[in-house]
Structure 1
Amino acid sequence: METTTHSPITIEATVNAPVAKVWEYWNSPEHITQWCAASDDWHAPYSDNDPRTGGTFKTTMAAKDGSFSFDFGGEYSNVVDNQLMEYAMGDGRKVKVVFEDQGDSTRIIETFDPENQNPIEMQRGGWQAILDNFKRHTETN
C-alpha cells in the first residue's frame, strides 16, 4: 500500500478573550461539547478531557440526524498550562496547539499532521471551521 506524506497544516485564530478563559473553554468538556463541530449539522454530544502530560481525551463528533458519528481522541505528550498542548491522535498523527497571551486576546496556532484520505484543503477547512466555532463560543459566553 502506498502512503502519501504531506506537510503539517497550520491554522490560526485570535480570540478576543484572555488566555485563562481561552484555556478553560478549550479544555472543559462542558464547553468542548458546545463548540467542537465543523458545521451546523454536526455536534459533539460527549467529551472527556484530562489536559496534562500523559493525560488522554476523547470527543464524540456526530451528525445531528444520527447518520454517522466517530470518536476523536488521543494522548497528550506535552502540556504547559495557558501556553501549549501537544498530542498524538489515536492514529499516531501529531498535533501542536500554541496559545499566545496578548493581554485581552489570545492567538491560537494549531498545527496538525493531515490524514491521507481527504484532500488537504478539506482538512484545513474543517479544522479551521472548528477553531472558528471555538472563537465564537468563547467570545459570546
Structure 2
Amino acid sequence: MNNPKNRTLTIERTLDAPLDLVWDAWTKPEHIAQWWGANGMETKIVEHDFTVGGQWKYAMTMPDGREFTADGVYIEIVPKERIITSANFKPMTEGVEIQTIFKADGDKTQLTFNCVHETEEYCKQQEEMGFYNGWGSFFDRLSEFVKSKP
C-alpha cells in the first residue's frame, strides 16, 4: 500500500558537462551557492559537512525578501554515483529523502533526482504545490552553471 514508487517524484536531466564537473557543482559549497534554489533565489551555505551522518543547511532568500531554510543529514555518499540525504525545505516541505544519482554519459552527465515522501498523499500534495516547476528551475540553474565552467 505504501509503495515507495507511489510516493516518489522524479526529475531526470542530461547535463552538458562531464561527471566530475557536475559532481563538484553538487558537492562543493562554493559551487552550490551559485545555483541552488529556484530562479531569483540567493543561497547562503550555513553548514556543509559532506560526510555520511554530516549535516547540511542552506539559507535561501527570495527576490521579495522572504527566507527559507533547507537542511538535512547525509545518509549515503558513493562518490560520483549517488548521494542520499534527508531533507526539509521549511516551511513548505519536511521529512523527505532526496536521492541524487549521477551517471557519466561520454562528456555529458545523466542526473536522476528522486524525492521520496512519507506518504502517497503528501507526495501528491507536494506535486500539486509545484514540485516540478520549483525543482525544474534548480536544474535549469545547475545546467547553466556547469555550462559556464571551462
Aligned CA distance change for structure 1 residues 74 and 10 (closer, same or farther; 3 Å) = same
Question: In the comparison of the two structures, how many residue pairs are matched?
Answer: 135
Q: 4+ residue runs of structure 1 moved beyond 6 angstroms?
A: none
CA offsets 1:64-122 (integer angstroms, 9 cap, x no match): 342x1111010011100111000111432111000011121111100003584955140
* Matched ranges for 1:35-54 at <5 A: 35-40=35-40, 42-54=41-53
1:105 counterpart = 2:113: no
Whose helix fraction is larger, Structure 1's or Structure 2's? Answer: 2
Give secondary structure in 1 for the equivalent of 2:98: strand
CA positional deviation for 1:45: 2.9
One-letter amino acid of the structure 2 residue matched with residue 109 of structure 1: T
Q: Which residue of 2 aligns with 1:61?
A: 60
Identity over aligned pairs, percent: 27
Q: Secondary structure of 2:95's match?
A: coil
Q: CA RMSD in A?
A: 2.1
Q: Is the 8 A contact 1:79 1:85 kept in 2?
A: yes
* Structure 2 length-normalised TM: 0.80
In the alignment, which residue of structure 1 is the partner of 2:127? 120
Distance 1:49 1:65 in 2: 26
Q: Is the 8 A contact 1:9 1:113 kept in 2?
A: yes
Secondary structure in 1 aligned to 2:57? strand
Deviation at 1:32, TM superposition (A): 1.0
